[in-house]
Amino acid sequence: MSPADILIDCQDAALTFGRGPNAVVAVHGAGLRIRAGDRLAIVGRSGSGKSSLLHLLAGLEQPTSGTVTWPGLTGPRDIGLVFQGDSLIPALDVVENTALPLVLTGIPDDRARAAALAALALVDAAELADRLPEEISGGQAQRVTAARVLAQAPRVILADEPTGRLDHATGSRVLDALLTAADETGAALVITTHDPTVAARLTARRAMRDGRLASADDADTDRADADTAHSLGEPS
Ligand SMILES: Nc1ncnc2c1ncn2[C@@H]1O[C@H](COP(=O)(O)OP(=O)(O)OP(=O)(O)O)[C@@H](O)[C@H]1O
């Protein structure tokens, strides 16, 4: 395992909101590595700190202690974000919304539009291309959000409760879209969810409880890798 395979390295990272008696420890010293090809669910109840952990991984919050680094990434464009309540821009149609992250990074409009249309087709939303956000359902909007990430072709997709407010069938299609996006782009996928059936569709799970990231089915792998790196002295 070369160091470049580790895309995000979160070491003993904590996040506290507020100070003194009002301080809330949202994340207690979390250790987590995201590697190319990972399909990880962070599972926990509302308020357990999942969103806060995802914000740390995305670099949207600075850890109060510990570190988060991105050894295998070259910049913010390498991270695709799908956040709770993520809204599309009302004045732009679906294809323009999907193309927006590319246009904002200076990619010419026609190329961005072609990439957006291809991404919409992959999540089964090509027929929505010319509609405005107010003309599509919540589940369709979530699929468009997945297409927007897919068009961006990030190295890591971080999705916060992407199926949270959807019925089972629609949630399942959104998850399909994100898994397709990850497979098509070769991105790692990290989602948060309170739903064990959603978590079961990913290849690894880590439980979060009261701000603590529990060891889970991939914890032994983490420890084995850490031991190997330690015994070698230098990363190979
Ligand atoms: N900006 C903030 N200021 C103060 N406290 C916050 C802030 N954001 C989150 N918290 C607190 O941190 C804790 C963890 O919140 P977080 O949103 O990370 O949980 P969650 O597991 O994602 O919950 P949900 O599934 O409901 O979104 C909660 O106690 C929450 O009230």
CATH number of 101's domain: 3.40.50.300
Count of beta carbons in the 10 Å neighbourhood of residue 169: 8
Task: List Cα–Cα distances, 33 to 141, 166, 234, in angstroms.
Answer: 30, 29, 18
Query: Among the atoms of ligand 1, which is closest to the Cα of residue 44?
Result: 21
Residue pointed to by tokens 């914890």? 219
The count of structural domains within the chain is 1
How does residue 110 score in pLDDT terms, banded at 50, 70 and 90?
Answer: very high
At 161-176, the pLDDT tens digits run 888 777 788 788 888 8
pLDDT value, residue 86 = 66
Residue with CA nearest ligand 1 atom 10: 26
Within 6 A (CB) of ligand 1 lie 17-18, 24, 26, 44, 46-52, 161, 194
pLDDT at 209 over 80: yes
Cβ 65 vs Cβ 14: under 8 Å: yes
Tell me the C-alpha distance between 162 and 141, whole Å. 11
Residue 221 has a pLDDT of 40
Residue 101, pLDDT score: 87
Between the CA of 52 and the centroid of ligand 1 the distance, in Å, is: 6
Among 15, 16, 17, 213, which residue has the most ligand 1 atoms within 8 Å of its CB, making it the best to mutate?
17
pLDDT given for residue 150 in this prediction:
86
Who contacts 195 (Cβ-Cβ below 8 Å, separation ≥6)? 163, 171
User: Is a pLDDT exceeding 50 seen at residue 188?
Assistant: yes
The range of the structural domain enclosing residue 209 comes to 3-232
- Rounded Cα–Cα distance for residues 35 and 151 (Å): 21
Q: Is the pLDDT of residue 200 over 90?
A: yes
Percent of the chain with pLDDT over 70: 88
Instruction: Give residue-wise pLDDT tens across range 19-71.
Output: 888 899 999 999 999 999 999 999 999 999 999 999 999 999 999 999 999 99
197-202: long-range pairs with CB below 8 Å, 24+: 198/41, 198/163, 198/171, 199/41, 199/43, 201/41, 201/175, 202/39, 202/40, 202/41
Band (pLDDT 50/70/90 cuts) for residue 142 is confident
Rounded Cα gap, residues 206 and 66, in angstroms: 19
Q: What pLDDT is stored for residue 124 in this prediction?
A: 83
* Cβ atoms of residues 150 and 182 within 8 Å: no
CB-based contact 39:182 (threshold 8 Å): yes
- Closest residue by Cα to atom 31, ligand 1, is 47
Average pLDDT over residues 130-141: 91
